[in-house]
Structure 1
Amino acid sequence: MNWGHKIIIVFVVFAAGILTLVTKSMRTKIDMVTKDYYAEELKYQQVIDGKKNAHSLSAPVMISQQSEGIAVTFPQELHGTSVTGKIKFYRPSDAAMDVEMPLHLSSDGILVINRQLFHKGSYLVKLQWENQGKPFYQEESLHIN
């Protein structure tokens, strides 16, 4: 085999490698954190105020894993009060595994979420609620076993 054939083989292998990389990159699924970045950025001042208000509570909202599900326990001063809001379990690796629901607390300030809604792995729990006209916001990492 002469040197001309070797150069052609190198070019063909190079072109096949580039085509392989292009097809793999085209098939890679990319999930955005949120579909509407700009509107979320405009609302970020509410998140800042909510975090400040959440730090003023006697204790943070506790999120724990129990046999029956994920327990979300609010501090004592919020028990029996009107708490409205939502909780979102954000899964960074796959948006299809995100879980979002409204907050419906029991009289003792506890919300238990069925474990069957979740896949094993890491979640970022985003709690956003309002009590007596004040916004609150808390984030916490959670690894579900």
Structure 2
Amino acid sequence: MKINWGTGIVLALIGFISFIMYFIITMSTNDKYNHDLVVEDYYQKELEFEADINKEKNALALKENIVYNKTPEGVVITFPSNLDPKNITGKVFLYRPSNKQFDFEVPISLSNHNLLIPDNRLLDGRWNIKVDWQYNNTSYLYKKEMSY
């Protein structure tokens, strides 16, 4: 059987379209290729963006900002020493970009200027740390990327 050039082009197009459709179906149905959003409530977070910018400006206006240090016990978050730790409230959110199942939140409860996040909660790799805190009715925000 002899195939002319028109039939060859049609067969090549059908083969190419089949190849592309196979990958589209595989990527959309296979659980191995998980397509999670960065956050579930994306649009709500976008509406809070302006408030976060104001909180970050408040944090930059402080004499000293939050500092974090990695220790064998975990991560120690140190709040400014010129503030009374009993009046500091808020939460620390640790976000794991590679897997949202490891994300967790810790409420801020201080007796001194340090907050310890235990080593057993942190896996090796990249983490985004977000400290949303208040002191004397003023809100502050500290965001950093860290490798653990």
TM-score, normalised relative to structure 1: 0.83
- Measured after TM superposition, the shift of residue 87 of structure 1 is 0.8
- Measured after TM superposition, the shift of residue 13 of structure 1 is 4.7
Code of the aligned partner of 2:26: K
Post-superposition, which runs of at least 4 consecutive aligned residues in structure 1 deviate over 6 A?
none
CA distance in 1, matches of 2:47, 2:105: 21
- Measured after TM superposition, the shift of residue 22 of structure 1 is 1.4
Residue 76 of structure 1 aligns to a residue whose secondary structure is coil
Q: What whole-Å deviation, never above 9, does each CA across 1:112-134 have from its counterpart, x for those lacking one? A: 11111122111111110111100
Q: Which ranges of structure 1 fall in alignment gaps of 5 or more residues?
A: none
Residue 71 of structure 1 aligns to a residue whose secondary structure is strand
Q: What whole-Å deviation, never above 9, does each CA across 1:76-108 have from its counterpart, x for those lacking one? A: 022433111111111222211212121122x32
- Measured after TM superposition, the shift of residue 38 of structure 1 is 2.6
* Structure 1 position 95 matched with structure 2 position 100: yes
Code of the aligned partner of 2:126: S
CA distance in 2, matches of 1:99, 1:143: 16
* Structure 1 position 123 matched with structure 2 position 127: yes
Q: Which ranges of structure 2 fall in alignment gaps of 5 or more residues?
A: none
Query: 2:116: which partner in 1?
Result: 112
**Are the equivalent residues in 2 in contact too, given 1:124–1:140 (CA < 8 A)?**
yes
Q: Sequence identity, in percent?
A: 27
- How many corresponding residue pairs? 142
| More off after superposition, 17-26 vs 63-72 | 17-26
* Structure 1 position 32 matched with structure 2 position 43: no
Q: What whole-Å deviation, never above 9, does each CA across 1:12-56 have from its counterpart, x for those lacking one? A: 753552243113321321221222223222222321221111112
